[in-house]
Chains A and B, each alone.
Chain A
Amino acid sequence: MLAFTLRRAIQAIGVMIAVGIIAFSMFRFAGDPVNQMVGMDTSGAERAAIRKSLGLDDPVLVQFGRYIGNAAQFKFGVSYQFRLPVTNLLIERMPATLELAIVATIFAMLSGILMGVYSALRRDSWLAHVFQAVSLIGISLPTFLIGVLMIYLFSVTLGWLPSFGRGDVVQIGWWTTGLLTLSGLKALIMPSITLGLFQMTLIMRLVRAEMLEVLRTDYIRFARARGLTTRAIHFGHALRNTLVPVITVAGLQFGSVIAFAIITETVFQWPGMGLLFVQAVQNVDIPIMAAYLMMVSLIFVTINLVVDILYTIVDPRLRSTVSRAH
Chain B
Amino acid sequence: MTEPVLSVRNLQVEFASRRGTLRAIDDVSFDIAKGEVLGVVGESGAGKSVTGLAVIGLIDPPGRIAGGEIHLAGLRVDNLPAEEMRRVRGKRIGMIFQDPLTSLNPLYKVGDQIVETIRTHLSLSESAARRRAIDLLAEVGIPAPEKRIDGYPHEFSGGMRQRVVIALAICAEPELIIADEPTTALDVSVQAQIISLIKRLGRDHGTAVMLVTHDMGVIAETSDRVAVMYAGRVAEIGPVQDVVKNPLHPYAKGLMGAIPTLAGEDKRLVQIPGSMPRLSAIPRGCSFNPRCAFAFDRCRVERPEPLPRGTQSVACHLYDTVPAESAA
Partners in one complex: yes
From B97, B103, B121, B152, give the contact of A227 (CB < 8 A): B121
Q: How does the 8 Å CB contact mask read for A300-317 relative to B, with 1 for contact and 0 for none?
A: 000000000000001111
B160 lies within 8 A of chain A by Cβ: no
The docked-state distance in angstroms from the alpha carbon of A221 to that of B117 is: 14
A219 lies within 8 A of chain B by Cβ: yes
Q: How does the 8 Å CB contact mask read for B119-159 relative to A, with 1 for contact and 0 for none?
A: 01100000000000000000000000000000010110000
From A219, A225, A228, A229, give the contact of B106 (CB < 8 A): A219
Q: Is the CB of A314 within 8 A of B58?
A: no
Within 8 A of A (CB), among B75-94: 86-91, 94
Give me 13 A-to-B residue pairs in the complex whose CB atoms sit less than 8 angstroms apart, sorted by A's number. Answer: A221-B58, A221-B97, A222-B165, A222-B168, A224-B89, A225-B56, A226-B90, A226-B168, A229-B120, A230-B86, A232-B116, A244-B107, A316-B106
The docked-state distance in angstroms from the alpha carbon of A236 to that of B152 is: 16
The docked-state distance in angstroms from the alpha carbon of A264 to that of B58 is: 50
Q: How does the 8 Å CB contact mask read for A185-219 relative to B, with 1 for contact and 0 for none?
A: 00000000000000000000000000000000111
Q: Is the CB of A241 within 8 A of B120?
A: no
Q: Known interface pairs A229-B86, A316-B152, A316-B154. Does A219 touch B120 (Cβ–Cβ under 8 Å)?
A: no
CB distance from A30 to the nearest CB of B (A): 50
A234 lies within 8 A of chain B by Cβ: no
The docked-state distance in angstroms from the alpha carbon of A122 to that of B58 is: 19
Q: Is the CB of B87 within 8 A of A227?
A: yes
Q: How does the 8 Å CB contact mask read for A271-303 relative to B, with 1 for contact and 0 for none?
A: 000000000000000000000000000000000
Q: Is the CB of B104 within 8 A of A219?
A: yes
* A-B interface, 10 closest residue pairs, ranked by CB to CB distance from nearest: A227-B90, A227-B89, A218-B102, A225-B95, A226-B90, A222-B103, A316-B152, A219-B105, A226-B117, A317-B154
What is the size, in residues, of chain B's interface with A at 8 Å between Cβ atoms? 31
Contacts of B109 in A (CB 8 A): 316
B320 lies within 8 A of chain A by Cβ: no
What is the size, in residues, of chain A's interface with B at 8 Å between Cβ atoms? 24
Report the nearest A residue to B152, measured CB to CB: A316
Report the nearest B residue to A217, measured CB to CB: B102
Q: How does the 8 Å CB contact mask read for B162-179 relative to A, with 1 for contact and 0 for none?
A: 000100110010000000
From B87, B89, B102, B121, give the contact of A225 (CB < 8 A): B89
From B90, B91, B103, give the contact of A218 (CB < 8 A): B103
Q: Is the CB of B102 within 8 A of A227?
A: no
The docked-state distance in angstroms from the alpha carbon of A224 to that of B103 is: 11
Q: Is the CB of A241 within 8 A of B116?
A: no
Contacts of B108 in A (CB 8 A): 237
A91 lies within 8 A of chain B by Cβ: no
A320 lies within 8 A of chain B by Cβ: yes
Q: Is the CB of A241 within 8 A of B105?
A: yes
Q: Known interface pairs A225-B89, A316-B152. Does A240 touch B56 (Cβ–Cβ under 8 Å)?
A: no
CB distance from A216 to the nearest CB of B (A): 10
A145 lies within 8 A of chain B by Cβ: no
Interface residues of B (CB under 8 A from A): 56, 58, 86-91, 94-95, 97, 99, 102-109, 116-117, 120-121, 152, 154-155, 165, 168-169, 172
Contacts of A227 in B (CB 8 A): 86-91, 117, 120-121, 172
Q: Is the CB of A218 within 8 A of B97?
A: yes
Q: Is the CB of B90 within 8 A of A228?
A: yes
Contacts of B105 in A (CB 8 A): 219, 223, 237, 241
Q: How does the 8 Å CB contact mask read for A228-264 relative to B, with 1 for contact and 0 for none?
A: 1110100011001100100000000000000000000
Contacts of A237 in B (CB 8 A): 105, 108
Report the nearest B residue to A219, measured CB to CB: B105
For chain A, what secondary structure do more than half of its interface residues adopt (helix, strand, loop), or is it mixed?
helix
Q: Is the CB of B155 within 8 A of A320?
A: yes
Q: Could you list 11 further interchain pairs (A-B, Cβ under 8 angstroms) beyond the known A227-B86, A315-B107, A317-B106?
A: A218-B103, A219-B103, A222-B103, A224-B58, A224-B89, A226-B117, A227-B87, A228-B120, A232-B116, A241-B105, A315-B106
Report the nearest A residue to B95, measured CB to CB: A225
The docked-state distance in angstroms from the alpha carbon of A106 to that of B108 is: 27
Q: Is the CB of B95 within 8 A of A222?
A: yes
Interface centre among A223, A226, A228, A232 (most CB of B within 10 A): A226
Contacts of B106 in A (CB 8 A): 219, 241, 315-317
The docked-state distance in angstroms from the alpha carbon of A232 to that of B88 is: 16
Contacts of B56 in A (CB 8 A): 225
Contacts of B120 in A (CB 8 A): 226-229, 232
Q: Known interface pairs A219-B106, A232-B120. Does A320 touch B154 (Cβ–Cβ under 8 Å)?
A: yes
Q: Is the CB of B117 within 8 A of A219?
A: no
The docked-state distance in angstroms from the alpha carbon of A230 to that of B155 is: 28
The docked-state distance in angstroms from the alpha carbon of A301 to that of B261 is: 65
Report the nearest B residue to A319, measured CB to CB: B152
The docked-state distance in angstroms from the alpha carbon of A230 to that of B58 is: 13
The docked-state distance in angstroms from the alpha carbon of A302 to that of B104 is: 34
Contacts of B97 in A (CB 8 A): 218, 221-222, 225
The docked-state distance in angstroms from the alpha carbon of A222 to that of B165 is: 9
The docked-state distance in angstroms from the alpha carbon of A221 to that of B105 is: 10
Contacts of A219 in B (CB 8 A): 102-106
CB distance from A246 to the nearest CB of B (A): 13
Q: Is the CB of B107 within 8 A of A240?
A: yes
Q: Is the CB of B121 within 8 A of A218?
A: no
Contacts of A320 in B (CB 8 A): 152, 154-155
CB distance from B157 to the nearest CB of A (A): 14
From A222, A224, A240, A244, give the contact of B104 (CB < 8 A): A222
CB distance from A88 to the nearest CB of B (A): 46
The docked-state distance in angstroms from the alpha carbon of A229 to that of B85 is: 11
The docked-state distance in angstroms from the alpha carbon of A219 to that of B87 is: 18
CB distance from A24 to the nearest CB of B (A): 45
Report the nearest B residue to A317, measured CB to CB: B154
Q: Known interface pairs A218-B102, A225-B56, A227-B89. Does A316 touch B117 (Cβ–Cβ under 8 Å)?
A: no
Contacts of B95 in A (CB 8 A): 222, 225-226
Report the nearest B residue to A244, measured CB to CB: B107
Report the nearest B residue to A237, measured CB to CB: B105
